[in-house]
Amino acid sequence: MVYKIVDPIRVTQNEEGIVTLSTPQDHMIQRWARAVGFKIPREKHLELDEYGSFIISRLDGAATLEQIALSLKERYGEAAEPLQERLAAYLSHLEKNLGMIEPVTDSTHASNNRKG
């Protein structure tokens, strides 16, 4: 399976390689609440740890889970274990609970591979 980061999520990376995911808070209720004086930020930010940053930087819509797992194993060795279970749980959380990533369909993945 292949994943990509959902629009309009903004990804920034600091000098140490730590990634922050920023999501606009632009729902009608949030805009209304700001208009009447509630202090609701325009974006929410999620700063990832070293492992999460490593994974997110590889969710480009082309890398497969197997390729990402291999990269994790090469970089972190035994510290990444149990690799498959942890990677699947993390990606499931990002997709289902946070809505920050989505699977790439086979046709989209095939066209991405032809471009590069």
| Mean pLDDT, rounded, of the chain | 90
In the chain, the percentage of residues whose pLDDT exceeds 90 is 88
Q: What angle do CA 76, 6, 82 make, to 5 degrees?
A: 25
* pTM as predicted: 0.81
What pLDDT shows up at residue 107?
A: 53
- Is residue 104 pLDDT above 80, yes or no? yes
105 pLDDT band, cuts 50/70/90, is confident
Task: Give the side-chain half-sphere CA count within 13 A for 65.
Answer: 16
What pLDDT shows up at residue 106?
A: 67
Nearest by Cα to 84 from 99, 97, 101, 65: 65
Provide CATH code, domain 2-110.
3.90.930
- Is residue 111 pLDDT above 80, yes or no? no
Every domain of the chain and the residues it spans: 2-110
